[in-house]
Amino acid sequence: EAGVTQFPSHSVIEKGQTVTLRCDPISGHDNLYWYRRVMGKEIKFLLHFVKESKQDESGMPNNRFLAERTGGTYSTLKVQPAELEDSGVYFCASRQGLRDTDTQYFGPGTRLTVL
Amino acid sequence: QKEVEQDPGPLSVPEGAIVSLNCTYSNSAFQYFMWYRQYSRKGPELLMYTYSSGNKEDGRFTAQVDKSSKYISLFIRDSQPSDSATYLCARYSGAGSYQLTFGKGTKLSVIP
């Protein structure tokens, strides 16, 4: 079974440009999460989808970030316009259910560098 | 005060040593605690989870929660070079989205 995949693995853009990150969750997982790790900080939650609906977007830093999950399958996270402080590693995770013991499976992350 | 505090290390030990990794948490309402392992350039993977207080053992790994002191520990026996990774403690936010709150992670190197 394929795990969570993310694309691209690495993106280097200039300040003010737009970048779109993609996440393909494990097939059949209704729950999809985005997290971010900024250098020197802990991994932090951004938002949670249940199928195509945003369940919790309390961690989104500002309105330059837009997440979508059309059709309840893959998800995209767009940053527009990118700022220097957006640099970091963006992780996607998926989870089948919402029982305490259901595991969140993480993708390898997209390393975003904003110059 | 951060919800989950973890000493980032780095920690370097010789092969075969017993490793002790620790976290503290601030909210007594937490029930589930997890340890994730992250290899370089990879995503975190769940290593173990524990519920409430007590110990949980899985092979060379033991997870321990002490609710009275709000302390979470992971012990690795007979450490191997393949254990070299960053270890992250985490807990769920609670009911609802079950988002994870992580510590900063401790980078462990096991030297052959």
User: Tell me: the pLDDT tens digits for B35-65?
Assistant: 999 999 999 999 998 877 788 999 999 999 8
A45: nearest CB among B2, B44, B100: B100
Q: What is the pLDDT of residue B73?
A: 93
Q: What is the pLDDT of residue B95?
A: 59
Residue B68 — pLDDT band, cuts 50, 70, 90? confident
Kindly report the backbone phi and psi dihedral angles of residue B83, in degrees, each rounded to the nearest multiple of 5, phi listed first: -80, -10
Tokens found for residue A94: 């998926």
B99: nearest CB among A41, A45, A107: A45
> Which chain B residues are within 8 Å of A100, Cβ to Cβ?
31-32, 51, 92, 98
CB contact under 8 A, A108 and B43: yes
Report percent pLDDT > 90 for chain A. 87
Q: What is the pLDDT of residue B70?
A: 86
E-state strands within A1-115: 5-7, 10-13, 19-24, 31-37, 43-50, 53-56, 65-68, 75-79, 88-95, 105-106, 110-114
Q: Which residues of A2-31 are buried (b: 16+ CB within 10 A; e: fewer)?
A: eebebeeeebebeeeeebebebbbbeebbb
Q: What is the pLDDT of residue B26?
A: 84
- Region B75-83 average pLDDT: 97
> Which chain B residues are within 8 Å of A4, Cβ to Cβ?
43
Tokens found for residue B64: 């321990």
Q: Which residues of B21-50 are buried (b: 16+ CB within 10 A; e: fewer)?
A: bbbbbeeeebebbbbbbbeeeebbbebbbb
Strand-by-strand arrangement of the A65-68 sheet: A5-7, A19-24, A75-79, A65-68
Confirm or reject contact between B33 and chain A (CB < 8 A).
no
Report percent pLDDT > 70 for chain A. 98
CB contact under 8 A, A42 and B102: yes
**Closest C-alpha among B111, B96, B101, B98 to residue B44:** B101
- Dump pLDDT digits (tens) for B94-110: 556 688 999 999 999 99
- Dump pLDDT digits (tens) for B3-38: 888 988 899 999 999 999 999 988 777 678 899 999
CB contact under 8 A, B98 and A59: no
Q: What is the pLDDT of residue B29?
A: 72
- The Cα of A10 is separated from the nearest Cα of chain B by a number of Å equal to 11
Cis, peptide link before residue B112, omega less than 30° from 0: no
Confirm or reject contact between B77 and chain A (CB < 8 A).
no
Q: What is the pLDDT of residue A97?
A: 80
